[in-house]
Amino acid sequence: MPLSKVIILSFIALITMVNPLAVIPSFVALTGGISRRTRASVALVAGIACIVVLTTFLLAGNYVFKFFGITVPAFQIMGGVIFLTNAMRTLVDDDRREYNAGGEKRMEDSDQKKAEIDPTSIAVVPIAVPMLSGPGAISSVMVLVNLYPGVEAKLAVMIAIIAVGALSYAVLLAADPISHVIGDRGRLVFAKIMSLLLGAIGIQFIINGVKPVMLEIMHSA
């Protein structure tokens, strides 16, 4: 198969699983209140981390899974727990204290601390892993490893991974103007609604991970 076709097929497979557009609500919720420069740094680190993670599993995924005895269902369950935890944190948090009588957002100590946040603290986990390079994306890379075992083919897949990471960075970078358009109140409502969906996705991840484990237990019994 021509390497150009490998790149295109790999890019389509990976971008579908990475789906950076679905990460925008979580990205906005996690980076709310920090400076534009820091938010851009978070997006950049997240894009780079996504490339590093997927490339790592491309080069050594099978060895890592075999060495630690890790299964894909286990990764799905852990990813679902992280999704659900982030969703619950947004849903349970009481935002009424953040606004004064005029409806304007107050600057509190926690906001100042958040503005000085280290980009790597949230860019790598949970934005890059598992939101961008989650179980679906890693599973896709593992499939591509088996489909294209040659060195040149792996380089082609790596090019597709870099393209996916660059596109993810661009999409997350555009989350800032989108959040400004809908405003603080609209962003709050949007974040709450998307947190419900994020929690549901997390639960579905857990179900998808538990199902094969339960089937294996039933078959062994």
For residue 26, the enclosing domain spans 3-220
For the chain, what is the domain count?
1
Structure tokens at 1: 């198969």
Residue in the block written with tokens 């799905």: 76
Q: Give the bridge partners for 99, in sequence order.
A: 105
29-50 pLDDT tens trace: 788 778 888 888 999 999 999 9
- ∠ CA(15), CA(163), CA(30), 5° rounding? 65
52: Cβ contacts below 8 Å, ≥ 6 apart = none
Check: CB of residue 95 under 8 Å from CB of residue 194.
no
Q: Which residue has the higher pLDDT, 145 or 79?
A: 145
CA separation for the pair 83, 54 (Å, rounded): 19
Q: Provide the phi-psi class of 148: left if phi over 0, else alpha when psi is between -120 and 50, else beta.
A: beta
Percent of the chain with pLDDT over 90: 19
CA distances from 21 to 17, 146, 152, 167, 171 (A): 11, 28, 30, 10, 7
Per-residue pLDDT tens digits for 6-16: 999 899 888 87
Arithmetic mean of pLDDT over the chain: 77
pTM over 0.85: no
Average pLDDT of span 44-59: 94
